[in-house]
Amino acid sequence: MVIVSENFNLQQIADSGQCFRMNEIGKDRYGLVAYGRYIELEQVDYDKIWFSCSEDEYQAIWKSYFDMDYDYNSIVQSLKNGEDEFLAKAAAYGSGIRILRQEPFEMLISFIISQNKNIPSIKKCIEGLCTKYGEKRISQDCGGKEYYTFPAAEVLASANKEDLRELKLGYRDQYVINGAKFVTEGQNDLNKLKDCSHEEAVSALRTITGVGLKVANCISLFGLHHIEAFPVDVWIKKVLDEVYEGRFDVNLYPGYAGIVQQYMFYYIRNLNM
């Protein structure tokens, strides 16, 4: 099936650093594992996306996953017409980015792993984690493609550190276990953090040893869909220091600073490549 949208670019989403299991598998074509499923997507035109799944599955899962009910176009337009020249260029450059509604536990573990690593290395670690601890499945829609689901919290909570160490997580191995135990032993339902405020979610997540301010903000933005979150990593810090000289006011974008942040991140990273 095909979806028509002005603000939906697979390459930009895949390279925006928010998801780590969406990979290019051919020209303008991507494979993606999420919510225990595998789909393939193809950018058939600038405003047309082909999905390998049925209409029913799109309505049940992927429509929400790709945040299709949110009006990204009005944000892009207002930034392009706004006074901030850097953001005008950044929004135009990354106008096809959307904030995905990813699984909270997957985001918790993925962004714990992300610290002090580059994106290719993060992807490698996550794929290894899924292959070792996830469930192997076969996609009927996509020619019997084999894939592995993201591991359950119970599985990672009882993993031993020596096995994790083989996956090259480095010192983050204990942090991964801490994150999993936060869910299983602490009886913390991550989905409940969607209903409370962004600030409350961040402070709850930060009780995990290995989750600091930046990682907690990423989990809140990408896993809990608190789109007012504004994670500051080394790239965003570079923008705030060098472009804005410390005078960027996040309050100019109330309730959607996370979207602004994504345009910034994607733009500055590609300027340096």
Binding site for DNA (CB under 7 A): 16-18, 114-122, 165, 168-171, 206, 208-216, 218, 231-236, 261-262, 265, 269
Alpha carbon of 204 to those of 142, 151, 166, 219, 226: distances in Å?
Answer: 39, 22, 30, 11, 14
* Residue closer to DNA, measured from CB, 51 or 222: 222
Minimum CB–partner distance for residue 194 and DNA (Å)? 19
* Residue closer to DNA, measured from CB, 79 or 113: 113
Phi, psi of 218 (to 5 degrees): -65, -40
Contact criterion met (CB below 8 Å) for 228 and 257: yes
- The DSSP bridge partners found for residue 24 are 30
Minimum CB–partner distance for residue 168 and DNA (Å)? 4
Per the document, the length of the chain is: 273
* Residue closer to DNA, measured from CB, 145 or 206: 206
The DSSP letter of residue 228 is T
Number of helices (H), then strands (E), belonging to the chain: the values are 15, 7
* Residue closer to DNA, measured from CB, 141 or 233: 233
Minimum CB–partner distance for residue 243 and DNA (Å)? 14
Minimum CB–partner distance for residue 54 and DNA (Å)? 30
